[in-house]
Each structure stands twice: as structure tokens, then as C-alpha cells.
Amino acid sequence: MNLPNFFKRPLIAAIVGAVTIGVPAGALYMAGVTRATTAAAAPVTPVPAAANPAAMLPDFSSMVQKYGPAVVNITVVTKVSTGWDSQGDSSGDDNDNGNDNGNGSRGGNDPFGPNSPFAPFFRGMPFGFQAPQPAPVRGEGSGFIVRSDGVIMTNAHVVNGASEVTVRLTDRREFTAKVIGVDTRSDIAVIKIPAKDLPTVRIGDSRNLKVGQWVLAIGAPFGFENSATAGIVSAKGRTLPDSGYVPFIQTDVPINPGNSGGPLFDMNGEVVGVNSQIYSRSGGYMGVSFSIPIDVAMQVGQQLQTTGHVSRGKLGVVIQNVSQGLADSFGLPQPEGALVSTVEKGGPAEHAGIEAGDVILKLNGQPLRDSNELPVQIATLAPGTTVSLEIWRNHETRDMSVKLGALEDKRTAANVNPHEGGGKLGLAVRPLTADEQREGHVKGGVVVERASGPAADAGIQTGDVVLAANGSPVANADELRGAVEKSKGHVALLIQRGDTRLFVPVRVG
């Protein structure tokens, strides 16, 4: 090959590529169909898997047709502060020192200064230096209908903090959804739309899943609603950072932004998981996806519907995995169980006599192959439940009983509906810690994690501390909920914002 031809070849390839891009999409599609039709001399039939001629590659078309209408597209609007303060910079400081120059803007926002000779000519004109309103940010996700009266399950990260949630069905109908509850620990949320006789999914049992089994996902990747993707179960019981209470199902199903909250089906057409996370270095699918087991999701969803929050058991220990070296050091026959590295002072485990260095081998008679199994199983039990543990101490086993405490729920949904068809308070709150009470010089109170609906409209902000409702002190979400339920459509919240206390009236009915 001579040198000129060597350089011409990639240039020709580039030109061909450019021309191909210019071909109408319909022409490309038809060309593809023609090529496929020409290449296939026989009708398309299921192809036997190479390793097992008796096995057939699955056809998901009937499942998509039957259960696709129960999968919804969710769009949300979240108001995000621009971060500009009264001095016209982006330092995030909310202090404006109360210096109002009388023209509707703060002194720091006046580009000429309050004493400038030009100020009278420009007073009141929209320079854009005034503190901007929160900017709406839109996002999309998926969900699936679990009850025909409009109850929908999705991911917490899809709707958490949203000021507006819209659900679109496959028949193009749209509804404004009400957030029933959000649990960030499990990444599960329950919302509801005002509709009846809706198609629903069938709930399965994720415990029956096997690694290598085919599964199907339906959702809205990148906003392309009701898209179906398939793959296999890659692993079970995966524990991810900051998600220690969920034994994730790992799959190779293509999951992308917008799929969050959508269902994962098994070959029986039953939902076995809620698509939640992907592992990616680019923001897109890279072959590893994670779904919340439907058993965990339904348990959380039921609590959110009945109480508005999720209760979990607490053992009161810090654990670590047992390596071969640790097993040899403790005289264990094999590396298994959960090694207790720290025991919470005054916690349930300490009261039962568990010590640092104990290895928990069994929970209620079930062996613990990995330390990650312990917090997952304990979290599924109700506070006050008595569990039996088999532990390894001083080269021998012994049995112990522990009465579980309550794991503090730092993000409790307090979406209150005091009257049927009425408004909601729209707050997600958590109790103040002892340190926060001491630093804020307050007793009791709950801190606002998320404000939406009537509360946001009234001016309640994330970080505000609610001290009282209609004169009644508030120390947790239940007390706040009770005060709102007793109100007659209006509730006066005493809040502390920084060093300032003020009453904020909220219309809730």
C-alpha cells in the first residue's frame, strides 16, 4: 500500500460516516429491515441456547403486553435554591442584616449603593441583583401500580424533596400524585393518584430467585417510557455503601437514569424487585444493576401506608466480616458469622451480655454466612422482638437471647392528611439529636429534612426546627402528626431558624 492510499482510506470512512448520518431515519430503519429480511431465509423462531439445546431463549412480549400498562412514568419538579445571598455573591450565606433600603431590595443588592446619586433613577428597576426565587429542577423516574385505587411504589430518591409529582399512564392520562411516605434507608417511596380500576402488577417472592435466572425490567430510561430490557440475575444479597439494610439483587439488566423505581419481573410475570441503582463510571449502564427485593419493598411500603414511617429492630453492635485470619485467631472451624467489634453502651446487646470479640454465628437458628446478613435480618424485625443468637466465645458456642431496641429513623415521613380530600402538611422531619438540642439551646423539636406542599408554600424550609404546633410542644413526627390531626384546617408552627424564632401559619385543609 502506498502512503497516499494509506491516508485516503480513513478519510473515505469518515465521509461515508457523515453521509450515513445524513440519511433520513426512516430510510435507515427500512434498510435495516430489508437487510435482516434478506439474511433470514426462514421465519424467526426461538433459538436454542448453545450450552443446553433443550433450553429456549425467552420471549417477553406477552409479559410486556400484559403488565406494561401497570408501569408508570413519574416526573417531578424540585425547587432548588440558587445559592445567591443578599450581597449578590454565591457564598450561600443567608444573612442580609435586615438592611432594606426601601426600594424592595437589600442594600447589598443595589449596584450603585443606597447613597449613590444614580440610585433615584434606577430605584425599583429589575437589575437581577435581588435574591432570586428557587429555580425548578425537573427529573424523571418510574413506578408500578400495586393497588387498583392508585397506590404506586417507586424509589425514595425519585420523589424525595419534590414539590410536584406527576404520574403518566400508558394510556396518556396524567395525574398529580400525593406522596404517602418516603423511606430513604431502603430507597422506597409510596405515592397515590386519584384514580380507580387501574391495572396492577403481580407481587412475587424474591427469595425464590436463583442466580442465572432470566428477569425483565420495564421503565423509562432517559425518559423513553415503557421500555423493556432483559438480563439475568448476577448475584443476590449484595450490600452497598450506605444501604446496609437492603440485600440487593444484582443483575445485568440494562438499567439507566429514568429506570429508577420501575419493576423487575421474573419469568412468571411477578415483580421480584424494584430497580434502584447502577454501578457506573460514566453515568450510564455498564453491566451491573441493583434492585431492591420486593419482599423488603412491600414490608416498607406497608408501614409507610399505615404509620407514615418505618420501624426497624436494633441489636446495638458494630460488626465486621470474619476473614480466614480472624477465624484462625478465634479458633473458628471456618470463616463465617459476624464479628462484634463494638457494643453500644446501654444498648440491647450490652443488656443481654454480648461482648466485643463475640462472633454471632446464627440468628434464630439460621446460620450467618456473611456479616452483612445480620443487619439486614435484624432490620426486618419489629422493635421489642426477642431473638435467639448463637455466638462463639472462648473457642465454644453459647446461646443468648436479646430483646431488640428501635433503630432511630432519622427521616420520618410526616405527610399528614387531616381531612379526606384535604391538603397535606408536606414535611419530612426527624428528631433533634442531643448534641443538636444543646447547640441550638432547645428542648425537643424536630428538624425539617424536606418541605413540600402547604408547608413549603407557607415558607417552611429545610433545616428549620419545629418546636411546637398550635401551642403543643413537638418532639417527634408522631406528635407533629397528632397536632395537625386535631387542627381545623390551620396549624401555627413555632419554628427556630438560626437564632430566630417565629410562628408560621400553615393551611392544611
Query: Could you tell me if 246 and 187 are in contact, meaning their C-beta atoms sit under 8 angstroms apart?
Result: yes
What are the CA-CA distances from residue 264 to residues 261, 289, 347 (Å)? Answer: 9, 11, 38
Q: How far is CA 411 from the centre of its chain?
A: 12
Angle CA(257)–CA(258)–CA(260) in degrees, nearest 5?
90
Q: Which residue has the cell 404509620?
A: 307
By CB atoms closer than 10 A (0-12, 13-18, 19+), residue 142 is: buried
Q: Which member of 260, 289, 291, 452 is catalytic?
A: 260
Helix (H, G, I), strand (E, B) or coil at 148: coil
Residues 6+ apart with CB under 8 A from 156: 182, 183, 184, 186, 187, 188, 189
Catalytic, 187? Answer yes
Does residue 339 contact residue 326 with C-beta atoms inside 8 Å?
yes
Cβ within 8 Å of residue 161, ≥6 positions away: 78, 450, 452
d(C-alpha 509, C-alpha 496), whole Å: 24
Concerning whether 260 is annotated as a catalytic residue, the answer is yes
**Can you spell out the DSSP letters for 316-353?**
-EEEEE--HHHHHHHT-SSS-SEEEEEE-TTSHHHHHT
Contact call for residues 266 and 213 (beta carbons, < 8 A): yes
Cell of residue 349, nine digits: 446487646
Element (H, E) at 301: helix 294-306
How is 207-262 classified by DSSP, letter by letter?
Answer: GG--TT-EEEEEE-GGG--SEEEEEEEEEEEEEETTEEEEEEEEE-S---TT-TT-
Dmax (CA) of the chain: 91
What does the alpha-carbon distance between residue 338 and residue 331 come to, in Å, rounded to a whole number? 14
**Which one is catalytic: 86, 105, 142, 157?**
157
Catalytic position from the list 187, 358, 409, 464? 187
Look up cell 424525595; give the residue. Answer: 160
* Cα 35 to the center of its chain, rounded Å: 44
Position of cell 444573612?
Answer: 95
Catalytic residue set: 157, 187, 260
